[in-house]
Amino acid sequence: MPMAAAVVGHSGLETFWFVVIAILWAGYFVLEGFDFGVGILLPVVGRDDLDRQVLINTIGPVWDGNEVWLLVAGGATFAAFPDWYATLFSGFYLPLFLILASLIFRGVAFEFRAKRALPQWRRAWDHAIFWGSLLPALLWGVAFANILRGVPIGRGFSYLGSFFNLLNPYALVGGVTTLLLFTLHGAVFASLKTTDELKERSERTARLLAPAATAAVVAFLAWTYVNAHNIHNEGLVPPIVPIACIAAVAAVGWLLREKLGGWAFVSTAFALLTLVATVFLNLFPRVMVSSISPAYDLTIGNAASAPYTLKVMTIVALIFTPIVLVYQGWSYWVFRARVARPPATTEAAAGDGTPAAPAEADLR
């Protein structure tokens, strides 16, 4: 369907909310992305319990705030494009359930890990953090690649496939791409938030990950370009967007070698932003592609709520979004300092020289 014809008759609010949802997902990938990366690197960079506690404390004050971006993206999709939400959650039920379960176990692990000092207790929750970070990092890429590639959607926006339709080579490459990008993003973040040996190990891990992440991004974006022609996309994506994404990832290793860690973090964040931009620009004006027939594609027109609903949502968003952004920015400013590794033991308060448990920083 020609793009011009697809957008005829729209009030403009459908396009506005499509852009808003894309921004929300981009924000989620950038902010929650380094949370996932730190969790995945917990057993790799953390050599002992104190190392792992320091890594957790780097994201402790912000991880739950970062997840708000996911909640808002899901809520905005439900309200602005209910048919998109319904088709997505019915067709992608199992992977989305796995993501939700992983996020729940991960959140519980952050809260419960410090409740007891037993090594077995902490190792169990460390495993929960690792798997609760790795599975969403992989499955978000699988989900978005399938949305872009096309899934069997029939008449009435009904999903006609199974779980195994989602496990195609293109989607798996998308999953590996997000997994490697999030892990690289987390490694760079950890290098900026830690000190001494932990900082050096984080930088070294990031330098090792950068070539693999670059190769994955190149493979995924090249395949996405081919896929865009297969689904008769009108070529809305400017070539500079995917090229910038590749260049940003490729620059990370060099930036770290030049001791420009802050710019390396900007590069990984920019790579995630342009990756999400490439996906949504390829989709527009669709929100989900049908692999059966273009006639069954979900678009910003046929999947949107009533104009009055979109108008009310826009007014509410314009009032409250700046408040939320200012508050989250303030929280990052307050917790901007590096997290140093505490001493292995502290002296008991009674002064009798009895070793006490390792000091724990509050995760809130």
Q: What is the pLDDT of residues 74-88, one digit of tens each?
A: 999 999 999 999 998
Closest by CA position to 278, among listed 219, 230, 235, 214: 235
> How far is residue 49's CA from residue 89's CA, in Å, rounded to a whole number?
38
> How far is residue 159's CA from residue 81's CA, in Å, rounded to a whole number?
16
pLDDT on residue 91 = 86
Residue 21 has pLDDT above 90, yes or no: yes
User: Is residue 342 assigned to a domain?
Assistant: no
Closest by CA position to 29, among listed 273, 212, 251: 273
Residue 348 has pLDDT above 60, yes or no: no
Closest by CA position to 11, among listed 276, 306, 350, 211: 306
pLDDT on residue 11 = 65
Percent of the chain with pLDDT over 90: 54
Please write the tens of the pLDDT for every residue from 258-272: 999 999 999 999 999
pLDDT band with cut points at 50, 70 and 90 for residue 155: confident
> How far is residue 349's CA from residue 157's CA, in Å, rounded to a whole number?
65
Residue 158 has pLDDT above 90, yes or no: no
User: Is residue 7 assigned to a domain?
Assistant: no
User: Is residue 211 assigned to a domain?
Assistant: yes
User: Is residue 276 assigned to a domain?
Assistant: yes
Percent of the chain with pLDDT over 70: 89
3-state secondary structure of 48: coil
User: Is residue 343 assigned to a domain?
Assistant: no
Report the chain's mean pLDDT, rounded to a whole number.
86
User: Is residue 300 assigned to a domain?
Assistant: yes
> How far is residue 280's CA from residue 19's CA, in Å, rounded to a whole number?
8
User: Is residue 146 assigned to a domain?
Assistant: yes
Partners of residue 122 on adjacent β-strands = none
pLDDT on residue 1 = 38
Residue 338 has pLDDT above 80, yes or no: yes
Residue 327 has pLDDT above 90, yes or no: no
> How far is residue 188's CA from residue 58's CA, in Å, rounded to a whole number?
12
What total number of domains does the chain contain?
Answer: 1
Residue 199 has pLDDT above 70, yes or no: yes
CA quadruple 109, 33, 31, 335: dihedral positive or negative?
Answer: positive
For the segment 87-112, the average pLDDT, to the nearest whole number, is 91
Q: Where are the alpha helices (DSSP H) in the chain?
A: 3-6, 13-40, 42-45, 49-59, 63-80, 82-91, 93-112, 119-149, 169-193, 196-230, 240-250, 252-257, 261-283, 307-334
| pTM: predicted TM-score of the whole model, two decimal places | 0.87
pLDDT band with cut points at 50, 70 and 90 for residue 354: very low
The range of the structural domain enclosing residue 325 comes to 12-334
pLDDT band with cut points at 50, 70 and 90 for residue 361: very low
